[in-house]
């Protein structure tokens, strides 16, 4: 399937014979393989006498192109880029490496996830050629407590990479969402393996909507957006992923020494809910207040009727005023 996609990625017509010869299969087998592309959200045009094409082409990931976009620091720190066509979840793959591997960093990238996971047991929807789904394994020495605020710092890193490509106006929503115009653009899922008090590995999983089109409409259970909608132009996913790895490598390198405090000011400057009336959910409990940013540890600050409260976990949402 991957070879077929690589052939059709240019958006040009390819005859059944040419495809068959490239894949070393019969015309019937070609047709069967082409049929399998539709459930992946790809529109295959077929014109008699010309052959088949993927309308608009397909922007496939390429390890060499990603590496070419990485700076020296990131290349040294993240030399192991494992680009897979399809996996269940890059976080699950990366977690296996975190458990069995040594202290080396590792990056798992996938074109397709069959079981992409979001926070709180939700699934993460992505589209072939239209998303970025990847996970970075990074070793830390000082236990889980020292990782508080890491997902917020990663949000800052993602936003820096987007700004480098000219994408501005993206906001951060505590603790791990990137929003544009109130709609979800990207999310971060961090999972930990190892000793909760000492030497441990963080799996930092990132999902970003690049060009989901209508494939995702009706599947994603919350308002969403993608980079194509925001910027009006196609973003080169290889270039973007290289830039993301540059910024993420920088944050991961510094975080052990600085903690979240070094990113607090920048995070606050992009706080999508600052000054808004919100509800914080902690289990079954709902606390209403005005969102007042985050403290140096990355805890959410909420001004409530009982004064300022801090939250180290939970979910925040805008309070809807009923008329």
Question: Tokens at residue 129, please?
Answer: 């050629």
Displacement of CA 20 from its chain's centroid (Å): 35
For residues 62 and 38, give the distance between their C-alpha atoms in angstroms, rounded to a whole number: 22
Name the minimum Å distance from CB 75 to ligand BTN: 21
Query: Which residue out of 65, 67, 84, 119 is catalytically annotated?
Result: 119
CA–CA separation, 1 vs 11, rounded Å?
16
- Site residues (CB under 6 A) for ligand BTN, limited to 176-235: 176-177, 187-189, 205-207
Nearest to 73 by CA among 321, 254, 303, 211: 254
Burial class of residue 57, CB neighbours in 10 A (0-12, 13-18, 19+): middle
CA-based torsion, 151, 155, 157, 161: positive or negative: positive
Catalytic residue at 310? no
Task: Report if residue 173 touches ligand BTN, rule: CB under 6 A.
Answer: no
**If binding is defined by CB under 6 A, does position 116 make contact with ligand BTN?**
yes
Indicate whether 136 belongs to the interface with ligand BTN (CB under 6 A). no
Q: What's the DSSP call for residue 210? A: S
Determine whether 160 is an active site residue. Answer: no
Q: CB of residue 226 vs ligand BTN: minimum separation in angstroms?
A: 14
Query: What string marks each residue from 260 to 289 as x (binds ligand BTN by CB under 6 A) or -?
Result: ------------------------------
Of the candidates 4, 8, 90, 242, which one interacts with ligand BTN according to CB under 6 A?
A: 90
* Count of residues engaged in binding ligand BTN, rule: CB under 6 A: 21
Report the alpha-carbon distance of residue 174 to residue 176 in Å, rounded: 5
CA–CA dist 204, 129 (Å, integer): 21
Residue 122, interface with ligand BTN (CB under 6 A)?
Answer: yes
Binding test (CB under 6 A) with ligand BTN, winner from 8, 54, 89, 140:
89
Under the binding rule (CB under 6 A), the answer on residue 238 touching ligand BTN is no
Using CB under 6 A, list all residues that contact ligand BTN. Answer: 89-91, 113, 116-119, 122, 124, 133-135, 176-177, 187-189, 205-207
Catalytic annotation, residues: 119, 184, 319
């Amino acid at each position: 399937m991957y070879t077929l996609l690589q052939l059709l990625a240019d958006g040009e017509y390819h005859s059944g014979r040419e495809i068959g010869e490239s894949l070393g299969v019969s015309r019937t087998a070609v047709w069967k393989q082409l049929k399998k592309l539709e459930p992946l959200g790809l529109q295959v045009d077929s014109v008699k006498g010309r052959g088949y094409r993927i309308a608009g082409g397909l922007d496939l990931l390429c390890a060499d192109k990603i590496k070419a976009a990485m700076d020296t620091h990131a290349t040294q720190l993240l030399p192991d880029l494992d680009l897979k066509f399809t996996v269940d979840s890059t976080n699950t793959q990366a977690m296996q490496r975190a458990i069995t591997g040594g202290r080396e960093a590792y990056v798992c990238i996938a074109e397709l996830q069959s079981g992409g996971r979001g926070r709180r047991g939700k699934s993460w929807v992505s589209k072939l050629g239209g998303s970025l789904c990847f996970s970075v394994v990074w070793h830390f020495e000082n236990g889980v407590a020292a990782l508080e605020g890491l997902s917020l710092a990663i949000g800052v890193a993602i936003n820096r990479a987007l700004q480098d490509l000219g994408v501005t106006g993206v906001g951060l929503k505590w603790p791990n969402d990137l929003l544009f115009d109130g709609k979800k653009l990207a999310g971060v899922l961090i999972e930990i393996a190892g000793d909760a008090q000492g030497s441990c590995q963080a799996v930092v999983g990132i999902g970003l909507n690049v060009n989901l089109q209508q494939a995702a409409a009706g599947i994603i259970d919350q308002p969403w957006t993608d980079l194509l909608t925001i910027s009006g132009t196609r973003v080169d996913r290889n270039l973007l992923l290289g830039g993301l790895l540059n910024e993420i490598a920088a944050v991961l390198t510094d975080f052990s020494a600085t903690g979240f405090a070094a990113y607090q000011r920048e995070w606050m400057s992009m706080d999508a809910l600052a000054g808004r009336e919100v509800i914080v959910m902690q289990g079954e409990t709902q606390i209403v207040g005005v969102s007042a940013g985050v403290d140096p540890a990355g805890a959410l600050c909420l001004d409530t009727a009982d004064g300022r409260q801090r939250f180290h976990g939970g979910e925040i949402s805008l309070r809807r005023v009923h008329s």
